[in-house]
Chain A
Amino acid sequence: MSELSAKIAELLFRLHRGDENALDEILRLAGGRMLALALSITKNRADAEDAVQTAFIKIVQASGKFRGGNGYGFVMKITQNAALDLLKSRGRRAEVCIDDFFSLSSSEGYDEENILSALTLEQAIGRLPVYGKTLIYYRYYMDMTVREIAAKTGKSKSQIQRDLEETEKTLKNLLAEGDKRTF
């Protein structure tokens, strides 16, 4: 379990006890990721914000059912469902491909000061094969452990570990190339 998951787990317990500040802390730690996930699904800033607002309400309502463990996964699952439900209520189908999760820089309201570095990251990830992008999504977007990724993909833990190391190395090389290009 990552430090982020453990921190959010603690905040969910505090939330269940009625601590309003826990919501602000969850927003600070995971709000960007929640909004990123919602944007990738809804492809629309207003809808994504609606989905994240709904997700926070559902997190308050469900905090009593949280039994410990991966707090981040708990929060992101609720966000994903909120975004999908919103699309359904609007009569729209969710059509999400892996590249949608790495297209935030072109989304409405993205921080202009960070657009350049975001583009560099997106371009580097864009040059990975689909499998590599998927590994980056699982590991860094969804904070999944090697074991969870192995269970999801049906591959062995050692294979996932090797593939992740290879992908991370490739990504860093691509990022270094990207940095040189901006100069």
Chain B
Amino acid sequence: MKKDAYIENLMQDYFDGTLADPSLVLPAKRVLAQRKKTKRPFYLKIGAAVSFACVLLIVAVSVGLFGRNIGGNAPESDGSSPAAPSAVYTAASLDVARSDYTSLGDLYPEAFAPFRILETSSHAQAEYFAYTDKASGDLMYAEIRAKILTSDGMTDAVIRVEFAEGATYEGFNGYYELENVRSFGGNNVFYETHFQDAEWVSCGYFEEYGARYFIDVTSPDEDSLNNLLSFFFGRI
């Protein structure tokens, strides 16, 4: 349902009447300039084996970004971060439209089969969006926004499933820098979890069924990422 255009225009004029001064962004510009001056280049991870044909190793330079490990198991690490596709595409190259489980499942049955449970569970609801390439119409990635009611409360999850070959959306770059890793059904899941604003916020990345899965979870439960993976993929 779209907003009423007449009311939206009136409201925009209403807000613009506050006359937000351009100087309001000056302190932020100084912070940005300072950040650009002190930004360090990527370094090879110390002590790790490198194979440029297959793996890009990244050292995290932002202190405090990486929180505690999820679940009861100690994280395993094979010394590598996930390999990012070489090319990047931007939001400007994409069209976005609402979609549904059936349409997406028809395109990529295996990749979307885990989310069928969102259609059948009485404790979950989901919205689907398809991001397609403007030029070719190809589905680059799908976004699933899910709410799942658990015994700990409401879990909000956003799962993006990317199919673009050899390229990744610029917004996903941060996931390729995740360092914590654990085994999941034979795959590596790269993840990070931290406590923020009275909730546990986790993000994770893994590859399966020919797709790249990017997951963001906000929940009262600190094991929400583990639980979500079990919920969708039926295994831990």
Does the CB pair B28–A117 fall under 8 Å? no
| Chain B interface, DSSP helix/strand/loop, else mixed | helix
Does the CB pair A49–B90 fall under 8 Å? no
Q: Scan B1-19; emit 1 where CB is below 8 A from any A CB, else 0.
A: 1011011101111111111
Does the CB pair B1–A32 fall under 8 Å? no
Instruction: Name B19's contact: one of A33, A110, A164, A175 (CB within 8 Å).
Output: A110
B185 at the interface (CB under 8 A from A): no
| Chain A interface, DSSP helix/strand/loop, else mixed | helix
B176 at the interface (CB under 8 A from A): no
A168 at the interface (CB under 8 A from B): yes
CA distance A177 to B143 in the complex (A): 43
Does the CB pair A67–B14 fall under 8 Å? no
Does the CB pair A27–B18 fall under 8 Å? no
CA distance A26 to B22 in the complex (A): 11
Contacts of A146 in B (CB 8 A): 1
CA distance A10 to B170 in the complex (A): 10
Q: Scan A115-143; emit 1 where CB is below 8 A from any B CB, else 0.
A: 10110010000000000000010011100
CA distance A33 to B62 in the complex (A): 31
Does the CB pair B91–A9 fall under 8 Å? yes
Interface residues on A, range: 35 or more
Could you tell me the distance in whole angstroms from the C-beta of A18 to the nearest C-beta in chain B? 5
Does the CB pair A34–B20 fall under 8 Å? yes
Could you tell me the distance in whole angstroms from the C-beta of A52 to the nearest C-beta in chain B? 5
Does the CB pair A104–B147 fall under 8 Å? no
Does the CB pair B25–A10 fall under 8 Å? no
CA distance A65 to B139 in the complex (A): 25
CA distance A36 to B14 in the complex (A): 9
A-B pairs with lowest CB-CB distance, top 5: A31-B20, A32-B15, A56-B28, A68-B171, A114-B17
Interface residues of B (CB under 8 A from A): 1, 3-4, 6-8, 10-22, 24-29, 31-33, 35-36, 39, 62, 90-92, 96, 127, 129, 143, 145, 147, 158, 160, 169-172, 174, 203, 214, 216
Interface residues of A (CB under 8 A from B): 1-2, 6, 9-10, 13, 15, 18, 20, 23-24, 26-27, 31-36, 39, 49, 52-53, 56-57, 59-61, 64-69, 104-105, 107, 109-111, 114-115, 117-118, 121, 136, 139-141, 146-147, 151, 161, 164-165, 168, 171-172, 175
